[in-house]
């Protein structure tokens, strides 16, 4: 598979592919069986990453339940006994072959809770969960010390096979997907971080679990520091005229969710959800926004815009409609936005973006008593209302992040859970989970001319 096809597939998976590039990729897949097979392998690996990460969320809930059970058991001093639950059959769903894992838990004698996680669960006699000391290869081929290995240790230098990407589960539960021929060093736990991965060559996609301290990715260009997020780091080879003795002269960092800090040449850069940057090791411009990323799109505060959802054919509107909400003895009336036909024109569908640092107030351009969008914790209003411009808190501040193909997510990061991301569904508009990425959550932002 040539470099161009590989780059198009990576852009597709990163949702950074343009319409022209998408047409080009589709033509390649139809005419080149090797490219089609590589595309299928890459998407299956991506599906495995999604599936295993979703599995982690339920596992963390189970962990809390079991720790509560352990506490009760220790208070009652009930004798413990060992139970082994053997393989319960293969997991279902689209994902790469996932090897089972074992975790130790304390047990209570009077009431026992049997929960199967993945393929194998082990209940031991210890009073605390046994720590996971190794990293595991759950997809693809990884070489260390000249031989393939499915279990990796801190300090291992690894190289991914050339036949396809590799998916690795680190000891803290985070996932790393490395593209073919990538090289890395797994440094593990340090005094400054819960996990440190050094990317020596190639590209890595990282999905970091929440909590437990910082996660660091070291490169020859700079260092990426995160708490809990999903992002990619790719090292680029020197170009013509650059020092060929260096493995890499630049790197790209793209963030799918959360926030990362990149430290390079004694400077720090914050990269937010949907943003992508090209970083250079030296030179007058160390950080350059990647074309097509949200960091490359900034609304002009002096202009007005339509906010549309092409997948539902809807346009954001506000005409002063009010709804009364009652909770017990409390009641109030709220102005609400509406979803109208995408062909709608006029002042009720023209929006202005007012900058607030790196966020935006979104409000009707023609003003009014309550022109500003407001994420509100009221299910009766689907989490979205309108409020006056004197209200400037986090519930009125939105980020614009890239959804790919010229579409964006509008998210209020400090809004009330779970009402944080704008969506259109069933002819209505509201706010949903900030992690949602379906078609109804993807909008276009297009300039409205004064004549319309």
Tally of CB atoms within 10 A around 327 = 9
Cα–Cα distance between 73 and 393 in angstroms, integer?
46
Could you tell me which residues come within 8 angstroms of residue 370 by beta carbon, excluding any fewer than 6 positions away?
A: 335, 385, 386, 387, 388
Contact 134, 102 (CB under 8 A): no
What is the signed CA dihedral for 36, 40, 46, 47, rounded to 10 degrees?
150
- Which H or E element spans position 230? strand 230-236
Class of domain 297-447: mainly beta
Would you give per-residue pLDDT tens digits along the chain (452 residues)? 677 788 778 777 766 666 566 667 777 777 777 777 777 777 667 666 655 555 554 454 544 544 544 444 444 333 333 323 333 333 333 333 333 333 333 333 222 222 222 222 222 333 333 334 589 999 889 999 889 999 999 999 999 998 888 999 999 899 999 999 999 999 999 988 999 999 999 999 998 988 778 899 999 999 999 876 888 888 887 665 555 555 567 888 888 778 888 988 788 888 887 778 888 876 556 677 775 566 557 899 999 999 999 989 999 999 878 888 887 777 888 989 999 999 999 999 999 999 988 789 999 999 888 999 999 988 888 899 999 999 888 899 999 988 877 789 999 988 888 889 999 987 889 999 888 888 899 999 999 876 56
pTM of the model: 0.44
Question: Length of the chain, please?
Answer: 452
Could you tell me which residues come within 8 angstroms of residue 214 by beta carbon, excluding any fewer than 6 positions away?
A: 192, 193, 194, 225, 226, 227
The sign of the dihedral angle between the CA atoms of 145, 150, 153, 157 is positive
Is 135-295 a CATH 2.60.120.1440 domain?
A: yes
Q: What is the DSSP string of 24-93?
A: HHHHHHHH-HHHHHHHHHHHHHHHHHHHHHHHHHHHHHHHHHHHHHHHHHHHHT-----EEE-------S
Q: Quick one: which of 143, 158, 167, 205 has its CA closest to 9?
A: 205
- Where exactly are the structural domains of the chain? 49-123, 135-295, 297-447
Which 3-state string (H, E, C) describes 216-227?
Answer: EEECCCCEEEEC
Contact 323, 381 (CB under 8 A): yes
């Amino acid at each position: 598979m040539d470099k161009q096809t590989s780059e198009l597939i990576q852009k597709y998976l990163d949702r950074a592919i343009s319409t022209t590039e998408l047409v080009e990729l589709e033509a390649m897949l139809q005419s080149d069986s090797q490219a089609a097979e590589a595309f299928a392998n890459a998407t299956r690996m991506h599906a495995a990453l999604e599936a295993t990460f979703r599995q982690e969320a339920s596992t963390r809930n189970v962990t809390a339940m079991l720790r509560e059970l352990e506490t009760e058991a220790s208070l009652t001093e009930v004798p413990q006994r060992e139970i082994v639950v053997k393989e319960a059959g293969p997991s279902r769903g689209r994902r790469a072959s996932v090897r089972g894992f074992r975790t130790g838990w304390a047990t209570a004698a009077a009431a026992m809770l049997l929960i199967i996680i993945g393929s194998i669960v082990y209940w031991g006699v210890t009073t605390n969960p046994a720590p996971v000391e190794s990293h595991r290869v759950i997809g693809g081929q990884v070489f260390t010390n000249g031989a393939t290995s499915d279990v990796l240790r801190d300090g291992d230098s690894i190289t991914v096979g050339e036949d396809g990407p590799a998916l690795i589960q680190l000891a803290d539960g985070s996932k790393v997907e490395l593209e073919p021929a990538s090289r890395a060093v797994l440094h593990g736990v340090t005094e400054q971080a819960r996990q440190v991965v050094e990317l020596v060559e190639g590209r890595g996609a990282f999905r970091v679990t929440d909590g437990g301290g910082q996660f660091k990715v070291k490169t020859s260009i700079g260092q990426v520091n995160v708490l809990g997020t999903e992002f990619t780091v790719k090292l680029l080879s020197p170009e013509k005229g650059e020092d060929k003795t260096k493995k890499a002269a630049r790197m790209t960092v793209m963030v799918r969710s959360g926030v990362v800090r990149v430290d390079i040449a004694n400077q720090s850069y914050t990269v937010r959800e949907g943003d992508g940057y090209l970083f250079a090791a030296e030179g007058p411009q160390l950080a350059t926004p990647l074309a097509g990323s949200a960091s490359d799109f900034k609304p002009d505060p002096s202009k007005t815009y339509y906010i549309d959802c092409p997948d539902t054919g809807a346009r954001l509107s506000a005409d002063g409609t009010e709804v009364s909400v009652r909770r017990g003895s409390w009641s109030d009336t709220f102005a609400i936005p509406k979803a109208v036909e995408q062909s709608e024109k006029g002042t009720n569908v023209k929006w202005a973006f007012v900058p607030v640092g790196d966020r935006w107030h979104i409000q009707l351009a023609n003003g009014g008593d309550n022109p500003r969008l407001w994420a509100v914790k009221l299910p009766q209003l689907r989490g979205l209302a309108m409020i006056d411009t004197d209200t400037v808190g986090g519930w009125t501040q939105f980020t614009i992040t890239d959804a790919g193909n010229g579409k964006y997510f509008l998210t209020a990061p400090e809004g009330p859970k779970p009402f944080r991301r704008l969506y259109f569904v069933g002819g209505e508009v509201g706010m949903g989970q900030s992690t949602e990425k379906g078609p109804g959550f993807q909008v276009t932002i297009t300039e409205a001319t004064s004549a319309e």
